[in-house]
Amino acid sequence: MASINLIEAFQDFKEAENIDRPTMMKVVEDVFKTLLRKKYGSDENFDVIVNAEKGDLEIVRRRMIVDDGAVEDPLAEIAYSDAVKIEPDFEVGEELYEEVDIMDFGRRAILAAKQTLASRISDLKKNVLVKKYGDRVGEIISAEVYQVWKKEILLLDEEGNELILPKSEQIPSDYFKKGENVRAVVKKVELKNNSPVIILSRTHPSFLAKLLEIEVPEIFDGLIVIRKIVREPGERAKVAVESFDDRIDPVGACVGMKGSRIHGIVRELKNENIDVINWTANTQLLIQRSLTPAKISYMDIDQEKHHADVYLKPDQVSLAIGRKGVNIKLACELTGLNIDVYRDNEGEEEEFDVNLDEFSDEIETWIIDELKRVGCDTARSVLQLTADELERRTDLERVTIDDVRRVLQEEMDKE
């Protein structure tokens, strides 16, 4: 029997474990039936028999034996005189099975067939990978760091498939070494140059959602539902949860006894502060909870403009705004409202103060805007904070802060 060695091609199939044997047989059959159509014009009377274990194949031609001179279709019929040359015992009306020497196709055709087969296998492996991870989008997986680059990390799963964790999807304080196991959520599957690229993420809200699902059985069982998650990766996250069972405290269940459930998640997220709050349809109550740990005095809400003015005691303003404005930013995302924070001076003796905009001739506008971003919109509000506190909360340099405080203090001293 003439055969073509296809062991390498079959080996590719074996490596892609998710490609089943029937699919493999069908691909090989299709490739060689294409060869038959090119040579004979039809493949109807040919059987392609594949031996995957040995890595070879056999092509058998079927023809009906007819009387001499009665051949109407040379592809399907053979004259009796020609048939007995192959096997003397043949008779008219019998079917003749004859092996086709694959080398008759020619060396170029055989090489082309092998290349086509390799290409089809490659496409199948890509499709299997796309389907596998396409179905797992939003799930947490663990993979090993294989290569660390400046803009991304290459990881390998248990089957050796390549996964990408871009720098933009890493927590700012993440640091990984080759060989280390990393947990991340499958964010999306892309096709680049016709090749699947699996993108992972550690910053997406779904990563925190899945970590909570792992740590909190009540979430996994559906007794507690996560209504919304907003994150500033590595800094702070806010999770709004709701319980379908009145006997279960959703916040307490998520945090665990003495924080036992939340601590593991905090460590995984590089000490990201996680505020777990009770979800409510009451907008006012939701704003109050979302600005945790600050305590609100009162607020004005304009639902049509999706805006809320929140008033707090002076010592609560900085808590509401948070480091680098993160707390109020996340509160806005969680509630879907634009929240402005103001100091509530009601009941206190009115003290002389000057709006920061009045100092625009002495202090640059961008510096004033940066101070306003952290809730300091007057001279007194800036001076009430230490230089260290201002340096920690803002993006201003110490020398700039000292100059600003000097200008403001001089003005207040005059008064």
Q: Are strands 162-166 and 195-201 parallel, antiparallel or unpaired?
A: parallel
**pLDDT number for residue 22:** 67
Confidence label for 56 from pLDDT (cuts 50, 70 and 90): low
Amino acid in position 392: R
Q: Are strands 224-232 and 195-201 parallel, antiparallel or unpaired?
A: unpaired
CB 266 within 8 A of CB 272: yes
Q: Is pLDDT above 60 for 390?
A: yes
Amino acid in position 14: K
Q: Are strands 162-166 and 152-156 parallel, antiparallel or unpaired?
A: antiparallel
Q: CA 166 to CA 136: how far, in whole Å? A: 18
**Sequence-ordered alpha helix ranges (H) in 135-259:** 205-215, 217-220, 250-255
**pLDDT number for residue 391:** 85
Q: Are strands 162-166 and 181-192 parallel, antiparallel or unpaired?
A: unpaired
Q: CA 308 to CA 176: how far, in whole Å? A: 42
Q: Identify the bridge partners of residue 296 per DSSP, sorted by sequence position.
A: 312
Q: CA 112 to CA 144: how far, in whole Å? A: 38
**pLDDT number for residue 47:** 75
Region 138-164 average pLDDT: 92
pLDDT tens for 168-216 read 999 999 999 999 999 999 999 888 877 889 999 999 999 999 999 999 9
pLDDT tens for 215-257 read 999 999 999 999 999 999 999 999 999 998 888 999 999 998 8
**Among the listed residues 305, 340, 310, the one whose alpha carbon sits nearest the alpha carbon of residue 325:** 340
Q: CA 309 to CA 332: how far, in whole Å? A: 12
